[in-house]
Amino acid sequence: MKTSYLLGITLGLCWGALLLIMPAVPVAGLGANAALLVDCDENNTTTFNGGINSSWTQGGNWSFGVPDSNKCAVIPADDDGDEHFDVVIPGSTTAYCKTLTIEDEGDDRSTLFLTGGSTLVLGDGGTLTSTIDGQFDLSVHPSSPATLKIDGVHTVQGNGGAIVLNKGP
């Protein structure tokens, strides 16, 4: 049985953007672990496959190239295939995506790590939704913190996912 946690936190971020963390809303016809992609389709969604390594920045790791502000990024997990990914945005890198989906299925939980000095810009200036069912880790090392920037109004939803702030040494 999957345990769900309700995150009732609203965070105000830079540039007047707003990040809402809320439970997933059930949608008729979608399974419990299905990713709900708003404003995303097969033409602007790229899925991580780990073809080269665990780096976000390598085009060969993605089905349709490295995500940008016009592409929706999916980091999949598949319990049947015993597959999950630990994706890293390396330090001194600024990464972009329109929306972000990090999946969790059964014993397989994918994770996105923002390492010290890295930045993820989420959104395209519009009103969008991302889904964190897996884990999203941000390094909060005092001398070189990771940064999450929201471009627009962005809702982050999930069903038992985790957003973790890791303090470095």
Provide the whole-model pTM: 0.76
pLDDT surpassing 80 at residue 75? yes
Mean pLDDT of 136-151: 85
Asked if residues 19 and 11 have their Cβ atoms less than 8 Å apart, the reply is yes
Contact partners, residue 128, CB within 8 Å, separation at least 6: 38, 39, 98, 99, 152, 153, 154, 155
The model's pLDDT over 104-134, given as tens digits with 9 standing for 90+, comes to: 988 899 999 999 899 999 999 999 999 999 9
pLDDT band at 70 (very low <50, low <70, confident <90, very high): very high
pLDDT band at 162 (very low <50, low <70, confident <90, very high): confident
